[in-house]
Amino acid sequence: MNTPNIPTTNAKSQQEQQDEAMINAAFQHLLDTYLASNHRRKVELITKAFNFAKEAHKGVRRRSGEPYILHPIAVAQIACGEIGLGSTSICAALLHDFEEDTDYTNEDLSNLFGPKIANIVEGVTKISGGIFGDRASLQAETFKKLLLMMSDDIRVILIKISDRLHNMRTLSSMLPSKQYKIAGETLYIFAPIADRLGLNKIKTELEDLSFKYEHPDDYKTILQKLDESHVERDDVIAHFTPAIREKLDRMGVKYTIKARIKSPYSIWCKMQKKHIPFEEVFDILAIRIVFTPADRTHEKDECFRIYSALTEIYKPHPTRFRDWLSNPKTNGYQALHNTFMSKQGKWIEVQIRSDRMDDIAEVGFAAHWKYKDKDAAYDENELDKWLDSIKEILDDPQPDTLDLLDNIKLNLYASEIMVFTPKGDLKTMPKGATALDFAYSIHSFLGSHCLGAKVNHRLVPLSYVLRSGDQVEVLTSRNQHVQPEWLNFATTAKARAKIQAYLRRESRDKQKRGEEVLRNFLANNDMKLSGGIIDKLRRHYHALSNDELLFNIGDDKITLNDDTINFLQGRNQNRGWRRFLPSFMGKADDAANTKEGTSNVADPNWVKNLNRKEILVLDEEVLRKCTIEPCCSPIPGDDVLGYITDDGVLQLHKRSCEEAVKLKTRYGNNIIACRWDTHKVLLFDVQLEIRGVDSQGVLYAIADVLHKLTHFIVKRITLDTDDGIFEGRLTISVYDTEDVENVCAQLKQIENVTEAVRV
């Protein structure tokens, strides 16, 4: 709504009345939601918090133009209505931006609303302004305090997740570069935490909203295809469910059958991972049977009864059975899963769970407040176990918050396997965990002195990847110590954190020894240790840092001798023609880079104001000043973003690139939104993978297709055959993604070529 610069009193009054009505309606909706829950009635306290927040944010508006107070109300609404939190959390949510916008201190809040609410507000404020806000302070100790606070009161992170969800729902009003920062951060941190806490509904929405802003075209395409295929899915349900309904009705089961549609983000991930089109994603549809047990203490038995009844109607898949009843997931999820063959010859996944299990699947452990039955089949200590594992990682000092962040993330998104100890105790491990990870999960001492393991009574190396059902015995020796190469196959957060901590301690010891050796060496040659000498030696021995130089001296990788003294004293510096070699080579490299149009040194004056732009247009001139990163090799047509390095270089990444996801999370203020505008002038190298049935003439047919592609340059082609199947890789130079699709389409038209995709 456009308002004049100097509004009249009547217009202003009318706007204020509209705002007041909107605010009161939102708050009333929050109270109605709260009163409909099972929580104790503390309306007076919530109203008091609302009035304080309303006064604090008076006259302040969000970027979208709406009164700011609507944001805290919306966060409280999510915390109450979608997570199931009570009055303490609702008050904290209403006040979560309070300290930033007023002069009230944490002590004032404690006096007004009690220490619990004040501490939660302080925790949420620290996350918002300290770790993930514009004033992002990546200080390890601050981040550790946040995680410890989260483990003391999980409501801190639940309110922050509510805050992030509302920010994602209203992200359209932000600049594109901010959208990428917030969306990347959401995918990297908040969606995995929501998943780990069992907030499946919120996790899915966070992922889909991030996907919507990062890849808007792909998002719209998948939504459109889902809409176009809904008739076909309805037809499948119409033919598949009647027989199930008839059987369950005869059994007297009280149930509902729901259709579960795979989320757009999950569909897109599968398409990217398997290089397949939408039409080849076959698990888009699943059937969910949710029943209300006659006796809640026997809900497991009823689950298996329903499953048994289904096997009498349809044939189950022999390898897709999943029993999450006997061994619930660590976020509390319980259900029986299997895939059944329909009468139309299609595999359809069926999930069976009780109403209690369904609630837990959607809103996590918060649902347990509805089911206070002590006999309910859920180990409520799982959340505490996870929080304890976070605390254990925090035991070791981490100099770099980013390492800590990565290690914590390893404890999030992870499929699980079940393995057994030698005594038959069951242990849950992340999928992909190795024998070394298992050793560290038992005890840090076992991990640090682990020689190998016996899996199912067979000797295996430390790098052996465990599978569900394995029985693992750890073999140790006091003479064994942590090795740097262990980081290559340690996958769990605890194992990596302990190994890194040991290596850091060892590194510090060797650095101290190196410094002592260097100091004594210089003293014996009438010289004193100084920063200038260390810097000269660092360059001379090509060490990346002073610490690396001292470590290498302490580790005897660098031997100090007469040549070292001659170098420091400037003797034998005239090396004839060789003294010109470094500068000559440097100039040659620069010339080559300029010629290719990918100079690694950008003009700082050119990049310093880029992050103020809404969208940077990537034309030929701009591209010659950028570096196209080899980790993802984007080309025109790919969804990309720019990242300004500390050296003033503008890097281009695909938005889906793993490195880009980390950059968005860690250095969001250096991210720039970009769009292509190249007009088919510059060529870019891409790699294609081609597969098919080996047959006479197939190589000639591929060569013939490539020969006819006159607009592109074929740089390399390799083909290998094995047991009648061929696989190959092509490197070609193209203008954009449209060209790639055209080449792949023509290659797939060749008889016996089954797949041609960009790598």
- Which of 677, 674, 670 shows the shortest CA–CA distance to 640? 674
28 alpha carbon, distance to own chain's centre:
36
Instruction: Give the integer Cα–Cα distance in Å for 287 and 256.
Output: 10
Q: What are the DSSP E strand ranges found in 426-522?
A: 426-430, 450-455, 458-460, 472-476
Count CB-CB contacts under 10 A for residue 568.
16
725 DSSP β-pair partners: 693, 722
**Could you give the residue numbers annotated as active site?**
100-101
**Angstrom distance (rounded) from CA 364 to CA 235:** 32
- Give a three-class secondary structure readout of 737-749: HHHHHHHHHHHHC
What are the tokens at 584?
């000559």
Contact 748, 689 (CB under 8 A): no
The label of the residue with tokens 């206070």 reads 372
Structure tokens, 518: 């260097």
**Structure tokens that stand for 519 in this block:** 């100091």
Question: Which of these, 254, 330, 318, lies nearest to 292 by C-alpha position?
Answer: 254
Separation CA 519–CA 279 (nearest Å): 69
Q: Round to whole Å and give the CA distance between 285 and 314.
A: 17
Residues in the chain, overall count: 759
How far is Cα of residue 409 from the mean position of the Cα atoms in its chain? Answer: 7
- Cβ-defined contacts of 589-594 (< 8 Å, 24+): none
Helices (H), 186-298: 191-196, 200-214, 216-228, 230-251, 264-274
- Do β-strands 616-618 and 640-644 pair in parallel, antiparallel, or remain unpaired? unpaired
Q: Can you name the residues that pair with 690 across neighbouring β-strands? A: 728, 756
